[in-house]
Structure 1
Amino acid sequence: MSIAENQQAVLDELGLFQDWQERYEYVIGLGKTLPPMDAELKTDDWLIKGCQSQVWLHATSANGKVHYAADSDSVITKGMIALFVRVLDQQPADEILTADLSFIDQTGLKEHLAPTRANALNLMATQMKQRALEFANA
């Protein structure tokens, strides 16, 4: 699926829930689906700076597509990074770099998070693109 299709799938799934608490639980559940991140990748080199919680993001490339590994020490933050991984994982770097990630605004997450956590969403999106930049036109 394309990035736009992945984004729409996330929005459709979130739309199934009646209230914010259910959406919150869904996002936490997404975090639990992330594959375990290798402990040796949980270093300052892969830490997203500026997040309230510790969030690690690592990227590799194979067959022209970027693969992300991520983790956090906070369940909600892990769920937030899982949203981005779900949308951008296994996509071409050039498409990641040009992707409009404003879908995150449509999730309603920013309105229900503390300002520091809401800001983390922007930091995550930026770091996802920066990691993809390493593989663009490669």
Structure 2
Amino acid sequence: MHLNKVQDKIVEEFDAIIGQVKSKFRYLRHFANLGTSFPAATTVERTDDKMIRLTRSRIWLDAAYKDGKVYYAGDSDSSIIKGILMLYIKVFSGRTPKEIIDSDVYFTHEISLHDYLPQHRQNEISSVLQRMRAFAARFKISNLNDNGVALAV
């Protein structure tokens, strides 16, 4: 499924529940519930080298490169951030580095995420996105051939 179709599906899911989560508390509770249902296969070992620095919440993120695609694993000590992280992993895992780097991440705006999050949480989400793109860029660069020409990724 194309990356934008995954984002569209997330937006549709939120459109379906937005009437039910009329308050900020319930909206954020939904992310916390997503965080508790985080698939074990996407969790990461909580080590210092995988931690995203300069965030209030502790966030761990790792990526693997297999068959030309990037697969992410992550975790957080905040259930809200963990739920949002799950959505990012859902959108980006199994994509080529080029798809990830070139993507327009719009689902967060479509579901009004930034309207409900305090600034420090918005900064954390921005850090997650930056780290995911940094992993993708690193994998893309590592696929340069000896002539300095990028292989198709």
**Separation in 2 of the partners of 1:116 and 1:8?**
26
**Separation in 2 of the partners of 1:93 and 1:134?**
9
Q: Find 2:54's aligned residue among 50, 55, 60.
A: 50
**Separation in 1 of the partners of 2:105 and 2:54?**
19
Residue 64 (1) aligns with residue 68 (2): yes
Q: Find 1:110's aligned residue among 114, 125, 140.
A: 114
Give the unaligned 5+ runs of structure 1. none
When structure 1 is superposed on structure 2, of 48-57 and 102-111 the one drifting more is 102-111
When structure 1 is superposed on structure 2, of 57-66 and 102-111 the one drifting more is 102-111
CA deviation string 1:58-95 (max 9, x = no partner): 00011111110000001001011111001111111111
What pairs with 1:92-111 in structure 2 (closer than 5 Å)? 92-111=96-115
Taking only the aligned residue pairs, the percentage that are identical comes to 29
CA deviation string 1:20-72 (max 9, x = no partner): 5554333223223333334xx31221111222100000000111111100000
TM-score normalized with structure 2 length = 0.81
Q: Find 1:35's aligned residue among 14, 36, 39.
A: 39
**Separation in 1 of the partners of 2:30 and 2:90?**
13
When structure 1 is superposed on structure 2, of 100-109 and 23-32 the one drifting more is 23-32
Q: Find 1:127's aligned residue among 131, 141, 144.
A: 131
Q: Which amino acid aligns with 1:13?
A: E
Q: Find 2:87's aligned residue among 83, 86, 89.
A: 83
**Separation in 2 of the partners of 1:98 and 1:11?**
20
Q: Rg bigger for which structure? A: 2
Instruction: State the 1:134 CA deviation.
Output: 1.8
Residue 50 to residue 105, structure 1, CA distance change in 2 (3 Å): farther
Q: Which amino acid aligns with 1:9?
A: K
TM-score normalized with structure 1 length = 0.89
**Separation in 2 of the partners of 1:28 and 1:115?**
18
**Separation in 1 of the partners of 2:135 and 2:49?**
12
Asked whether the 8 Å contact 1:60–1:66 carries over to 2, the reply is: yes
Give the unaligned 5+ runs of structure 2. 144-153
**Separation in 2 of the partners of 1:33 and 1:131?**
25
